[in-house]
Amino acid sequence: MKTLPIYGFSLLMLFALACASGSKTQASPAELAAFEKMISDKSFQIDANWAQPMASQGLNSIANAGLLPPGSTASRIDVTGSGGYLRVVGDSVMADLPYFGERQMGGAYNPQKGGIQFNGIPKEFTIEPNKKGDGKTLRFNITHDLEAYRVIAQIYPSNFSSITIASTHRTTIWYQGNVSAYDAKK
């Protein structure tokens, strides 16, 4: 009978440790200092690993036909290795991200420009501390080829990041990836 409280206590401690495990935002002091420098220098790049489009019947049909990469679903698509990025260098922003979703307005057909692509100086560019955690929130608006984008990126010192892109011509899409200092020599 004495073993029941011991097993109960052990189970409770295991549960407490599991709940207290690290989050995506934990970083060492050195990582935090490097992160702050990268953000203040405005020289970083987010490489997309996952795309999360809005669910639609068309996207579900594509997923059911087996046309998505292995390990992907209609709501979470593996884009690792696609070269998709969002880059901030000084006052300029650049993006070349694969797009999965539906157009809401017509556009010229060009198979070379099917993704989200822009390059220029954004409007209303801000970088603010996150309300929760130790990361930063990047926000800006940019227009490219008559299409306007509203971009919000959550960036954390542990190199995790998420991007939300709302467009005037397409359904909203989310990305998850890794942030790193931009190296123009690569």
Domain assignment of residue 173, yes or no: yes
Residues β-bridged to residue 178? 47, 160
Reported in sequence order, the residue ranges of 121-159 that DSSP labels E, i.e. its strands, are 123-129, 136-144, 147-155
- Residue-level pLDDT, tens digit, the chain, 186 residues: 555 445 544 444 444 444 444 445 467 888 888 899 999 999 999 999 999 999 888 888 888 898 888 889 999 999 998 999 999 999 999 999 999 988 876 655 556 667 899 999 999 999 999 987 789 999 999 999 889 999 999 999 989 999 999 999 999 999 999 999 998 776
In a domain, 16, yes or no: no
Domain CATH code at residue 116: 2.40.128.410
The residue segments making up the domain with residue 140 are 22-181
Residue 12, domain member (yes or no): no
Q: Are 138 and 126 contacting, i.e. CB atoms less than 8 angstroms apart? A: yes
Query: In the structure encoding, which two tokens stand for residue 73, read together?
Result: 């679903």
Q: How many folded domains does the chain comprise?
A: 1
Do 185 and 89 form a contact (C-beta atoms < 8 A)? no
Burial class (CB in 10 A: 0-12, 13-18, 19+), 173: buried
Q: Give φ, ψ of 80 to 5 degrees.
A: -60, 135
Kindly state whether residue 87 falls inside one of the protein's structural domains: yes
Quick check: is 4 in a domain?
no
Residue 10 within a domain: no
47 falls within a domain: yes
